[in-house]
Amino acid sequence: MAVRLIAFDLDNTLLYDADTVSRGNREALDDAAAAHVVTAIASGRVFTSLPAAVLSVPSVVYAITSNGAAIYKLPGADRRFDENGRFDADSCFSNARCIHRISLPENRVRAIMKVLGDYPSDRYPVSFETFIDGRAYSCEDYIRRPERYGLSPAYIEYVRTTRTMVADMRQFILNHADCLDGLDLQIGDPAVRDEIRNRLMTEVPDIYITSSVSNRIEMSNAGAGKAAGIRYLMNILGIKKEETAAFGDADNDIDMIRAAGTGIAMRNGTPACRRAADYVTRNCREDGFAWAVHKKLGIPDRRAEMERYMRAALREAHMAEALDEVPVGCVIVKDGKIIARGYNRRNADRSTLAHAEITAIRRACRSLGDWRLSGCTMYVTLEPCPMCAGAIVQSRIDRVVIGARSDKSGSAGTVVDLLHTDGFDHQAETVFDVLGEECRELLSSYFSGKRK
């Protein structure tokens, strides 16, 4: 059965570090959306600390946060980006909708703090974080002395910029004991961490306890957890367990991996997480998420498809090169088949109109018996000039995949943008830099030879 919902952890699963999404993983998310698959973040992070690198991917629709204690429906692209196309975090956060929340019961919070009263922070390396209404609060000392609490240097800036620092965190927690989404501990001594965890599990029943990294203890409502979060989305979306997949690397991902129809662990994951999974994919830094989306879940890899057709366009460009023409090639694809090809023949034909794109458009029109090329995608090795961009708009081509930009006459956004002009009656989707290096090298080699 085809997958309809993918939930994914962030750190060391989708993300390389605190806020880096690779191009391959980002495109895998877009490929999933193109296949009508719903994608959802599943993180221990509080909502407002989710990284822009993920929230700026329009294909990501939901966010399971605070280990399942709060779930958000993300706004559409028009509410995530400003008029210049830049990601607007404030707009994204303010327009997101919390669709599910379960707080820690006040009596459980006070019971937790009673246990922790035996571990004063001046004597024990114990620091606190808590989450309220999608925002994170942390001890000032956690940032001043991160090594005391086992905080990785790579995450210091992330914590600094996503937390509100509080001087007396213990009192702050008690003052807000009736509204906490979650309560986390950072403990620099493994022996102390194990002792506290064992005491909490014994003395404070009916809470959810997990850990995403070795120095943390993460606590939420007993009804929380990433598994509860993915089940909630299954229920509201009408999706069956066998139609879901979940990705993770840490112990706090295990319940979610088991709850999904297909559980996938990263090779860099903990031994327990790997054992719980149906499959183990490649390492996070090897784009293991993207690899499994395509190879294990069977979602089409649109970049691989685009590269295949761009190679066909490059073959056309080499034909132009053989005629001592500027090496530009083009193919037009409809329903998975190349219906027309063209390459630059301006000098050979002694015609201003003999550009690769114009030739391909003429042949595509003859092939389909219609001037309208709706449903077609053009693959071209060099960004179209104004003449060719105009022909693309007039022929109603849906999408243009481009190898190299043209700094002198590029009319798909580099010099002017004729493919996305509001006043025109048609606009074409554009994708840049598909086999861009090979396309640029071909042109550079041709012009270098001319200068000798």
The residues assigned a catalytic role are 357
Structure tokens that stand for 212 in this block: 């995403």
Q: How many CA atoms lie within 13 A of 111 on its CB side?
A: 15
Structure tokens that stand for 300 in this block: 């089409």
CB 27 within 8 A of CB 260: no
* DSSP states of 190-227: HHHHHHHHHHHHHHS-SEEEE-SSTTEEEEEETT-SHH
Question: What is d(CA 437, CA 48) in angstroms, rounded to the nearest whole number?
Answer: 37
Nearest to 88 by CA among 98, 72, 77: 77
Q: Is the dihedral of CA 109, 112, 117, 121 positive or negative?
A: negative
Question: What is d(CA 124, CA 171) in angstroms, rounded to the nearest whole number?
Answer: 17
Give Cβ neighbours of residue 16 (< 8 Å, ≥ 6 apart): 22, 284, 285
Question: What is d(CA 54, CA 30) in angstroms, rounded to the nearest whole number?
Answer: 12
Q: How many CA atoms lie within 13 A of 41 on its CB side?
A: 35
Question: What is d(CA 117, CA 125) in angstroms, rounded to the nearest whole number?
Answer: 13
Bridge partners, residue 62, by sequence: 40, 73
Helix (H/G/I), strand (E/B), else coil: 65:
strand
Q: Cα torsion for 74, 213, 8, 26, to the nearest 10°?
A: 80
The edge-to-edge listing of strands for the beta sheet with 216-221 is 163-166, 135-139, 126-132, 182-187, 216-221, 207-210
CB 94 within 8 A of CB 246: no
CB 165 within 8 A of CB 143: yes
CB 247 within 8 A of CB 64: no
Residue 356 CB coordination number (10 Å): 31
Q: Which amino acid is at 64?
A: I
Q: Dihedrals φ, ψ of 176, to 5°? A: -120, 30
Q: Which amino acid is at 395?
A: S
Helix (H) or strand (E) holding 302: helix 302-322
